[in-house]
Amino acid sequence: MTLGLTLGKYAPLHRGHQMVIERAIAENDHVIVVIYDAPEVTSVPLRTRAAWIKTLSPSVEVVLATDGPTIVGAAPEITALHDAYLCRLLTGRDVTRFYSSEFYGRHVSQALGAIDCRVDEARTRIPISGTAIREAPYRYRSFLAPIVYRDLIKKVVFLGAPSTGKTTIARELAERLKTKWVPEFGREYWETHQIDRRLTLGQLAEIAVGHRHREDDVILDADRYLFVDTDATTTYQFSLDYHGTADPTVEQLADECSRRYQLCFLCDTDIPYDDTWDRSGEMHRNDFQAKIEADLIRRNIRFVKLSGSRPRRVSQVIEHLRALDS
């Protein structure tokens, strides 16, 4: 039985990495991919990066190098440190071939007693590097699988009762920062399907799923940030308001919101109420707002309340984006 090995930080996993892994799979009975923690170069968690590999190459064995050396270089003391760590990590595993596109292919192969297999070392077939992508992910997104690129974009959601300015601020920030935003799918759906200003439990589930699909589509063209008008927690609140209960799909998607967005803003009711035909009045706005805020607290979703004029709200968001990036 032949055993292939490759390794990296995969920060992020790109087409060049995938080519190395695919060649290892083609030439061996079993393949191990060692992935290093890399907090010094990426904020994407180790387990998220490992999930990319398992999703795109389900046959490989992914080994997490949670305590691997972070120092890099060709100095003898550095290469010896890495070789010793890999030998300990892979104790009892007889590696046949070691695959890489880097100089370290030679010393790692020697340390493991494996064949040194280089793949596109000159970067002629896939001219990209993790460093280039980290500096400009939008420019080089064609080198990334969709599941990878989605995780590189910071999702920012705006919540609040009807007529609290969610749509306005999401659209303005997207225009100002030259990226994309996701309008509230539920509003479009409601206008087409409502009967006596109500939707069924199943229709509310369709809204939650449809909104999530729209986010996943639009994010592939976003640059750094995706601004989102409303999420499944609001659909959940509408379901409670209409029916006193919610479809299991809505409940599940609402539960996932605590992990889905990097920033959550609650738009305040301190702006004039726009009393359009599809809304239920200012009293209902205040009541619904209180329920949304209580639900965020119950779910332990951290949020920032946006108050004041539109310019002030925009400034608040940009300030928090800078903090998130620092």
10 Å Cβ neighbour count for 100? Answer: 21
Percent of the chain whose predicted confidence (pLDDT) is above 90:
91
10 Å Cβ neighbour count for 132? Answer: 14
pLDDT surpassing 90 at residue 8: yes
pLDDT surpassing 80 at residue 275: no
pLDDT for the residue numbered 281: 44
**Amino acid type, 4:** G
Contact call for residues 239 and 246 (beta carbons, < 8 A): yes
Q: How far apart are CA 46 and CA 218, in angstroms?
A: 25
The mean pLDDT of 223-248, rounded to a whole number, is: 96
pTM given for the model: 0.90
Contact call for residues 32 and 61 (beta carbons, < 8 A): yes
For the stretch 95-105, pLDDT in tens is 999 999 999 99
> How does residue 198 score in pLDDT terms, banded at 50, 70 and 90?
confident
Q: Which residues contact 31 (CB under 8 A, 6 or more apart)?
A: 3, 4, 5, 6, 21, 24, 25, 57, 59, 60, 61
Grouping H, G, I as helix, E, B as strand and the rest as coil, residue 263 is strand
